[in-house]
Amino acid sequence: MTTPTLTPASSPTAAPELDLEARLAITLAEMDGRCRTAVLAVDVNSAHIAVDVPEFTAPLPLTPTLAPAPAATPIADLLGRARQRIITDGWCRDAIFDDQGAVCPIRAIRLEAPGNRRLADDACVLLLESILQAFPQAETIPSWNAGQSSALPVLLQFDRAAELAHARGI
């Protein structure tokens, strides 16, 4: 009698080894799926958030300016208002005022102190003192003003004169 012989079952074939290109393609497909899932999760989780985008009808100012803080002394307050007038109306270098409405420092002070010539005179004296501390060669406010190339030094001197007035309590 013949005895049946068992042949070993074929062993499971091992997966073929993948080259670098194939492994990169599989990884890319897995990552693409994960990214799509993450994007979908963000969309779902943020769907309830209302986003209001404001409409800008007017152009934004090019240089932000702060409103001057009210000064504790009358002359410091006057100098602050005159400084703000130069910012608002414009700065005039070679005249008291021009056709566009820009003003020189003295006119700005006089316009901000209507009816109080003494206060305006005191503010002008303090402004000249401040200018002379920084520019000893200056003779008068108008001559110093005419030598400036922009309003920035003028505004700076208004700030310094207001600090002097505040420090002196006048």
d(CA 61, CA 67) in angstroms, rounded, equals 14
Regarding predicted confidence, which is higher, 8 or 104?
104
What is the band of 67 on the pLDDT scale with cuts at 50, 70, 90?
low
Containing H/E element for 41?
helix 20-45
Q: Is position 62 within any domain?
A: no
Q: Is position 95 within any domain?
A: yes
Q: Is position 126 within any domain?
A: yes
Structural domain containing residue 106:
74-168
Total structural domains within the chain? 1
pTM comes to: 0.59
| Amino acid at site 65 | T
